[in-house]
Amino acid sequence: MINGIVFQAAFQRTLMNIRRRPVILFLSFLQPLIWMTFFGFLFQRFPINPAQGSTMQYIDFLLPGICGMTVLLGSSQSGISLIRDSQSGFLERTMITALDLHAFLLGKITADLSRVIVQAFVVTLLGITLGAVVSVGFSTFFSFLFFILFGLSYSLLSCCIALKTDSQEALSAFIHLVNMPIFFTSTALVPLRAMPSWMEQIAVWNPLTLAVTPVRGAMLSQSSWWNGQAFLALSLMAILLYTLAWKSLNVRRI
């Protein structure tokens, strides 16, 4: 049974830390806007769908990928607050007081995840304002479940690294060294068929590809957008990383 008081306290504290640093929220919207503006119009003649009579523009294809990038970048910063709390001594005091570490971890991750998913929805609206033609029906909202699973997994990975290293430099190195390869070896920017064969093999198993592809299918009103294998893979990854993060908290508690 999850302790609701601990969950609520961790949730509210995480959101409070976000509100105290509004510049981070501003930059998290500015960067996707820049990417959509420059890439969307720079490659507007890119033959995404060469089928005769196709009306798809590159920005239509790009928008779900930029939403995925928003989730990727936002989730990777989840561990920063843990490092700050650890260095101030707040984390250790909290773990001694909080009898339910599951509630503490879930409260923090839920707050971080809520932030990045709301950001992804706002980026979707920004993309539509810039001229992207996508569906915003029920299937699109439901497809964001894949972003939730990916964001959950990546937030937990960020927390694991933060708890293991207790160093902002180490987490920053992880963000800079891992985020871009994951982004550029996914289908966020280009379809699989446009990649070299060796990169295509990587992209197929890239977690960001597993999240972006179903969302793109829903946004482009494709009838077969649901991907059960991607859902299962992202779910298993989230469960594994949650277990690792929870164990890392327990180690810090001893």
Residue with the bigger pLDDT between 81 and 206: it is 206
Calculate the average pLDDT of the chain: 86
Q: So what's the pLDDT on residue 10?
A: 81
Q: So what's the pLDDT on residue 23?
A: 64
> Across residues 123-131, what is the average pLDDT?
90
Query: What are the pLDDT digits (tens) for 8-19?
Result: 878 888 888 777
Q: So what's the pLDDT on residue 52?
A: 46
- Global pTM reads 0.91
> Across residues 47-64, what is the average pLDDT?
74
Burial of 235 (0-12, 13-18, 19+ CB in 10 A): middle
Statement: residue 80 has pLDDT above 90: no
| CB < 8 Å & 24+ apart, contacts of 137-144 | 139/218, 139/221, 139/225, 140/215, 140/218, 140/219, 142/218, 143/214, 143/215, 143/217, 143/218, 143/219, 143/225, 143/226, 144/117, 144/120, 144/215
Q: So what's the pLDDT on residue 43?
A: 79
Its sign, for the CA torsion 163, 145, 106, 18, is: positive
Statement: residue 109 has pLDDT above 50: yes
